[in-house]
A and B are shown apart, each in its own frame.
Chain A
């Protein structure tokens, strides 16, 4: 069964304390892996798309990496404004149609 699992469920960091969020996936026909950020009461905001194992992308304090079984979102020297829920999602193609599977997210709290 296709599945996306994120860990940890919640993470508290001190400002400047770097860490990584994990997204492990089991899916057939992977077309892309996505990272989104979601603030309370808002829709998810796109961060990155990764297409193949070995790919890396960076944006400010965030860096996303992809292997054949998992993806990591590395947060370097986080700031309080990085506090949010980070969602991982995969897009797969099966029987000619697309499906989208989201993980349940990692709630990140960065303390000043």
Chain B
């Protein structure tokens, strides 16, 4: 079956612009996760959704970051007024439920802020 898909695969933007990153989870997966992976760094957990609800937004790096999920499916991560330090690979994952279930990752969106 189809895996987790993310779009765009690559995004180059100018400092100060807004960007939207999209994640399409595996059908039937109720939990969805966003991570950020900077060059040579581990995965930094940003936020998770159970259905359309995000119980804890404290992992988002700043108030320029926001995320939403609609219809229990597609999720969008929005970064406003991008800064060079936002450059990274943004990974999305989904799992059947929240809890200790394996996560299936998408290929990521590589964001470059110039």
Contacts and interface: CB of A to CB of B under 8 A. Distances in A.
Q: Does A pair with B?
A: yes
Interface residues of B, number: 25
Interface string A25-37: 0000001101010
A45 interface: yes
B56 interface: yes
A102 to B, nearest CB: 4
B100 A31 contact: yes
A45 B45 contact: no
B112 interface: no
Interface in B50-71: 55-56, 59
A32 B73 CA distance: 25
Nearest to A50: B100
Given A42-B107, A49-B102, A100 B42 contact: no
A96 B103 CA distance: 20
A94 B23 CA distance: 26
Contacts of B93: 43-44
B1 interface: no
Q: Is chain B's interface secondary structure helix, strand, loop, or mixed overall?
A: loop
A44 B105 contact: yes
Interface string B74-114: 00000000000000000101000011111111111000000
Mostly, the A contact residues are strand
A71 B106 CA distance: 26
Contacts of A89: 43
Contacts of B102: 34, 46, 49
7 contacts: A43-B93, A96-B55, A97-B55, A98-B55, A98-B98, A99-B56, A104-B42
Given A99-B45, A100-B48, 10 more contacts: A44-B105, A49-B101, A49-B102, A91-B100, A98-B56, A99-B59, A101-B45, A102-B42, A102-B43, A102-B44
